[in-house]
Amino acid sequence: MHRLPEPDLAYLRQVLLELLAIPSPTGFTDTVVRYVAERLDELGIPFELTRRGTIRATLSGHQSSPDRAVSAHLDTIGAIVREIKDSGRPALAPVGCWSSRFAEGSRVSLFTDHGVLRGSVLPLMASGHAFNTQVDSLPISWDHIELRLDAPCTSRAECEALGVSVGDFVAFDPLPEFTESGHISARHLDDKAGVAALLAALKAVKDSGLEPQIDCHPLFTITEEVGSGAAAALPWDVSEFVGIDIAPVAPGQQSSEHAVSVALQDSGGPYDYHLSRHLLRLAAEDDIPVRRDLFRYYHSDAQSAVTAGHDIRVALLAFGCDATHGYERTHIDSLAALTRLIGAYLLSPPVFASDAKPAQEHSLERFSHQIEHDAQLASDTQVPNLDSVLGARPDTPG
């Protein structure tokens, strides 16, 4: 297999910065969809859009089947107006699963049907000079924060006169910072850093002139944060699906801000044994820093495709990130490793070429082995047989 050149990290950084500048909480993704579609046009990669805006692209290979898909999501966490209080301040409900702890103090944009209003998310007791130590007594919940708009707005009528309505989207400022140490801090790196890495990998393949062995379909989904993600995104005969997302760097986790993670299980269950180990082998062959990890409170595009009923092998690649769904931080090392591994995967042979053919009835000829059959059966010698555990059967002679 040909090795790709090193990824264009300047391109990755630029794309990431531009993605972060586009508000895209789940349900409010049209603009970011247009942006990614323009990048695919620049790369010469054809695509189609679903009705709601999931992008389905095709990177043509030497053969069209079995084909594979690689997915990153464009939507982010955010909020939505739940109520307009008598005080004129909107109450918020979260979009996606995240704590109000990370919303407090944020600068935001509220999108009315006719324009944009700026404001700050504050706890109900926000002034230390008025409430003293009571400011520390509030519970952490979305019921205990509110939006202060930067506009004349001291009553419900005034707020409604500004055009604010229940159901208006609220996007949280990303506040990106790229430091000389290589760290990248911002909100919404989940999954805009993954999107940037996927686009950079696609650019590396196109720039190299190398042809993938099989067709690959880059997907950019718009509802991952609310669970549906890639459920309806696969019109082709896809046999392999690799999701791209975020890997939490925290106590009890194995992921690193300086490596790419291969997730072997999340809240949806284990990922495919063979596809996951294919990715690990590719990382080893190309000297890509890699970690194996499990994500307990986590769900991905790949698992949403399986839940929707697709008979596919699924795996997950992720960049290491500290403080996920908060003010997130990763390192360019992790994004470079992720980009390199995506590129290696795009050019790799299918895990099972036989996946292109329908299963033969009453035949195990093409079915996979997780461990060689004889080796797996040999493990039985280490386990007591049933008779030795239960004693001789009553009808067994002497």
Active-site annotation, residues: 224
CB-based contact 320:247 (threshold 8 Å): yes
C-alpha closest to that of 323 among 222, 227, 251: 251
Amino acid 112 reads T
Instruction: Please report, for residues 224, 369, 370, the alpha-carbon distance to residue 303 in angstroms, rounded to integers and kept in the order given.
Output: 10, 22, 21
Compute the C-alpha angle 311/337/31, nearest 5°: 70
Measured between alpha carbons, how far is 326 from 384 in angstroms, rounded to an integer?
51
CA 12 centroid distance within chain: 17
Cβ burial 53-64 (10 Å sphere, 16+ → b, else e)? bbbbbbbebeee
CB-based contact 262:280 (threshold 8 Å): yes
